[in-house]
Amino acid sequence: MLFNKKKTQNCVIIGSGPAGYSAAIYTARADMNPLLFTGFQPGGQLTTTTDVDNYLGFPEGINGIDFMKNCRMQAERFNTKIINESVNRVILSNKKGGIHRIFFDQKKCIESRGLIIATGSRPKFLGINKEKKFLGLGVSFCATCDGFFHKEKDVAVIGGGDSALEEASYLAKICRKVYLIVRKDYFKASKILQCRILKKKNINILFYSNVTEIIGGNFLEGIKIFNKKNKKNRTILISGLFIAIGHTPNTEIFKNELDLNEKGYIIVEKGKTITSKPGVFAAGDVQDPDYRQAITSAGTGCMAALDLEKYYLLQT
């Protein structure tokens, strides 16, 4: 959709996942005429999910790609201007009511009084063959999203931190057996989580272990594991592989412009989406290392839109 690059915008949104589109719908309905950049992965991580089964309002579930298409169409219905480009640089104002500069398509630039960042995060991969091929076909990064599809089956979780143990604990409630694959000989997770895991009879902990191969034709069927202590290989037949070795927030272009925490997530005021720069707000996984759910991301997208609207009201 065409837009006037010379005109200062009221609202620019970076990111096209649930947070970005939710922010677009709310800002559009508030007559802020939002302009949304889709980024390098239009639709966000949900486009790599076969079925979204836990989003409110879809009793039969919905395909991840179809869900994000619906989000885009709803945003467009309220005249959100959608730009299929990635933002590669920002210069943010320190002043209230200041103008933020957003660069894209090499050296093109637009200006805006309000900015909502919804660039999300990306999971850390193992870096082995078939890992990306089987995303949504057995390989997952979210037990609460996809665990239900493996009910009463055998699965594996990779990782030794809090996220991995939380995933394993959740899966142990619904799966027949859970293999917890840990690269070192100890957990990095909190003691309370370790105690909880050790009490689960259907969790089989494999220390000193790495996944070396993913097995399957059209979908995941199993994995090969190498034990560094006894130097032995092992094949495990599973229906689901949950990788929980961390996420990386997509905040590289904001490093020198916004306050980030030690893991690179944008810092926001507690219970708000307000960042360290006036008129700049963050929503979704880019500021949320804990929940990482479509529904919570959409909720913070709504919050960012309302926070931006309030920001404008306080200036009048």
Crossing angle (nearest 10°) for helices 294-315 and 18-29: 40
Buried b (16+ CB within 10 A) or exposed e, 133-146: ebbbebbbbbbebb
Catalytic residues: 142, 145-146
User: For residue 129, is it left (φ>0), alpha (ψ between -120 and 50) or beta?
Assistant: beta
Task: Say if CB 51 and CB 61 are below 8 A apart.
Answer: yes
* Residue 312: Cβ within 10 Å count: 16
Strand bridging mode 240-243 / 139-140: parallel
Judged by DSSP in three states, 234 sits in strand
Task: Say if CB 102 and CB 90 are below 8 A apart.
Answer: yes
Nearest CA-CA partner of 41 in 77, 85, 75 = 85
Task: Say if CB 219 and CB 138 are below 8 A apart.
Answer: yes
Taking the alpha carbons of 76, 79, 85, 91 in that order, is the dihedral positive or negative?
Answer: negative
User: How far is it between the farthest Cα atoms of the chain?
Assistant: 70
What's the first-to-final CA gap in the chain, in angstroms?
30
d(CA 13, CA 19): 10
d(CA 264, CA 287): 9
